[in-house]
Structure 1
Amino acid sequence: MKKNNTKYTSVSRLALTVGFLSAVFSGNALAAGELHLYNWSNYFPPSLLELYEKETGTKVSVDNYASEDDLLAKLQAGGGGYDIVFPGTSTLGIMVEKGMLENIAVNKMENFDKLLGSFKTIAGDENRDFSAPYMWGTTGFSYDPASVPGNKLEESWKELFEPKAELKGNIAMLNEMSDVWNAAAYYTGIDKCTESPEEAQKILDLLLAQKPDVKLYSSEGTIDRMIAGEVPVHMQWNGAAHRVKAKKPDVVYVYPKEGTSFWVDNMAIPKDAPNMEEAKKFINWMMRPDVAAEASNYTGYSNAVKGSGEFLKEELKADPAVNTPESYGERLRAFKTCSPKSKDLREKVWTKLKS
């Protein structure tokens, strides 16, 4: 995917420069080393990689995965040699439960107090022993008014699960089990942590009925795909929608009325990370307000660090896709820790859908 060459705002550039000079002249610059990150594509600003190397002498590289299933599979197979990974809440819980992550006592790091209170805990890592928040956002869908019937779609998952005739075969879904399952559960009114095989079957029936109308399932390239007009409607994360709107201002991001998933992506260190101490320093550095803001300015997602707002681009603050309107607050659905039985049903539904 093409990288976003977002330029610093003047305030952000100044703050980052001050941070660099402060580190150098205080003698706190870290020893040279290397770090290997494993993250979603197009989800980490190259500017921060360069800045960290300037401040510390440590070279940082990034490899990308296409789904969190791929992330789990690779780490479970013992591959990669990565120092920092970026799991979402459900994957984070699985990793903690399976002993895949190092306890790095994030709650005792110097910059932990800079986090907003609601992000100092998370399901599956309640004490923040294993993880720090990276970005947070929502999962809804985007559409191009010029390419849909009547130039407007209803604020409902119905537009994806029962698309209008003109849109059949021309909508795109994310290739993420939890996002697709949750949306279908919200639309059918079924608890997303259901343990009922009958209710799981209803969700499967809905997804199988929708499948002929789906042009593709993909979590990569969603920004470029919408900008190029390859599909008029795309299940999408809000930060990606924001970046689409930078090129196509009329594109609309929808918070479906039946429920919109609210999620947090996190930074964590695998058990066998080759550069453990350097990785801890990097995670602490990422909780610095100016650094967190630069990540938000690039990704189009909100961060969890107090004081970062003054470094954010104005267009980020003004976009309802990123700055959720208060009137939509009741539509947000937080992550829930589901039982093994419920997770098993979800996985069986996903396997049948993708077979």
Structure 2
Amino acid sequence: MTALAATACGGSGSTSAGSSGGGKDLHVYAWAGEIPDSVIKGFEKETGIKVTVDTFDSNETMSAKLNSGSSGYDLVEPSQYTVQQLIGQQLIEPLDHTKIEGLDNLAAKFRDPSYDKGNKYSVPWIWGTTGFAYNDKCIKSATSWKTLFDGQYKGKLYMLDNMLAAYIAGLQVSGHRATSTDKAEIAEATSALQKQKKILAGYNSTNYPQLLSTGQACAAEAWSGTAMAKVVQSNEHVHYVIPEEGGSIWTDGFAIPKGAKNLTSAYEFINYTLRPEVAALATDDGSSASTNQAAREHIKDKKALENPAIYASDSAIEKADFLLDPGPAMQYFQQGWTKVKAS
């Protein structure tokens, strides 16, 4: 599958560090829909900095852009395992914590995450989970990944069209951790996914919430967040659950790419989004869970705090894994995924 408090530096003379002149620009590369317009407009109004936001639909797309060496972005929004990869590839800068105010507003689990100890390279913005959703007109009740592997729902099941997301289900339904890098366990998960493919309607990372809402899908692997949350809120028959096997937690956060020109603007934006009242907009206007613990008292939509497709309960995520970069084991996933797609 990601928030950030205190006082921004303000709009007085934001100069582009790393460039020769005064900079009043900020170029952001982010997940589509994850930074509400209200956040961008509020920041522009307060600071006078013009923000340009380009969006991507996968971590791979974003990484490829940075690898090209001329992205032109001052901030990017990678997911947690991609932060690890970008650090290893030296594509993002270590953060200067003397220029950041408000990290203590983050929830404890996001202040020193396993994928970026001490938030050295990234500041989490939003978080969520990977689980599944079902329509109770088709499936009375469901709590396990086994639902998505059940032949009685053949042709009305969907999986996310994302390799690592699919393997969360494949590994956990096989009795393993989603963070496994064991070759034999990944092979077992590959076999489970190959068998499952025969009963799937398809792989879908875009409109599966709508397919669930209309009943075209009985169940689908799903990411929590905006699209799923809106369907759960508007359709009483659609339910989002964290599977009893564990599911996973994801987070998307802000990082500064190597070669960023408008560094001062980048830090101003990070500080702005770390304010509790601003971070609350991620939920009120973006239907996403904020990593900012202090933001909760500023959230106006109290129903969002009870919507499992936005804020999963502590008990629901007790066994959830923080999906990390599998490192050298990535080849086993890639080889297995090729087999799954070809089966």
Give the TM-score category using the shorter length: 0.7 to 0.9
Residue 279 in structure 1 maps to residue 266 in structure 2: yes
Residue 163 in structure 1 maps to residue 154 in structure 2: no
Q: Displacement of 1:205 after TM fit?
A: 1.2
Q: Which position in structure 1 is the counterpart of 2:19?
A: none
Query: Hey, what's the Cα distance between the residues in 1 that align with 2:31 and 2:208?
Result: 12
TM-score, length-scaled by structure 1: 0.83
Q: Which position in structure 2 is the counterpart of 1:122?
A: 113
Q: Give the residue type in structure 1 aligned to 2:338.
A: T
Query: Hey, what's the Cα distance between the residues in 2 that align with 1:193 and 1:309?
Result: 30
Q: How does 1:58-137 map to 2 (within 5 A)?
A: 58-106=49-97, 109-137=100-128
What are structure 1's unaligned runs of at least 5 residues? 1-18
What are structure 2's unaligned runs of at least 5 residues? 1-6, 16-22
Percent identity over the alignment is: 31
Q: Which position in structure 1 is the counterpart of 2:308?
A: 320
Q: Give the residue type in structure 2 aligned to 1:142.
A: A
Residue 342 in structure 1 maps to residue 333 in structure 2: no
Higher relative contact order (CA 8 A, sep 6+): 2
* Counterpart among 228, 235, 253 of residue 266 in structure 1: 253
Q: Which position in structure 2 is the counterpart of 1:201?
A: 187
RMSD: 2.5
Q: Which position in structure 1 is the counterpart of 2:239?
A: 252
- Asked if 2 retains the 8 angstrom alpha-carbon contact of 1:29 and 1:55, the reply is no
What do residues 247-280 of structure 1 show as CA deviations (whole Å, max 9, x unaligned)?
2133101111111101221111111223222112
* Counterpart among 189, 201, 213 of residue 199 in structure 2: 213
1:36/1:231 Cα in 2 relative to 1: closer, same or farther (>3 Å)?
Answer: farther
Q: Secondary structure at the residue paired with 1:200? A: helix
Residue 48 in structure 1 maps to residue 34 in structure 2: no
Q: Secondary structure at the residue paired with 1:299? A: coil
Deviates more, 1:232-241 or 1:319-328: 319-328
What do residues 181-226 of structure 1 show as CA deviations (whole Å, max 9, x unaligned)?
1221111012444444332221111111122333332323344444
Q: Secondary structure at the residue paired with 2:119? A: coil
Q: Displacement of 1:316 after TM fit?
A: 0.6
Q: Give the residue type in structure 2 aligned to 1:328.
A: A
Q: Displacement of 1:140 after TM fit?
A: 0.5
Q: Displacement of 1:287 after TM fit?
A: 0.7
Residue 290 in structure 1 maps to residue 277 in structure 2: yes
Query: Hey, what's the Cα distance between the residues in 2 that align with 1:36 and 1:344?
Result: 33
Q: Which position in structure 2 is the counterpart of 1:301?
A: 288
Q: Which position in structure 2 is the counterpart of 1:15?
A: none
Q: Which position in structure 2 is the counterpart of 1:4?
A: none
What do residues 38-61 of structure 1 show as CA deviations (whole Å, max 9, x unaligned)?
222222211211111111122222
Q: Which of the pair is proportionally richer in helix?
A: 1
1:48/1:29 Cα in 2 relative to 1: closer, same or farther (>3 Å)?
Answer: farther
1:41/1:200 Cα in 2 relative to 1: closer, same or farther (>3 Å)?
Answer: same
What do residues 144-193 of structure 1 show as CA deviations (whole Å, max 9, x unaligned)?
212x1xx4232010111x2342x312222222222211221111012444
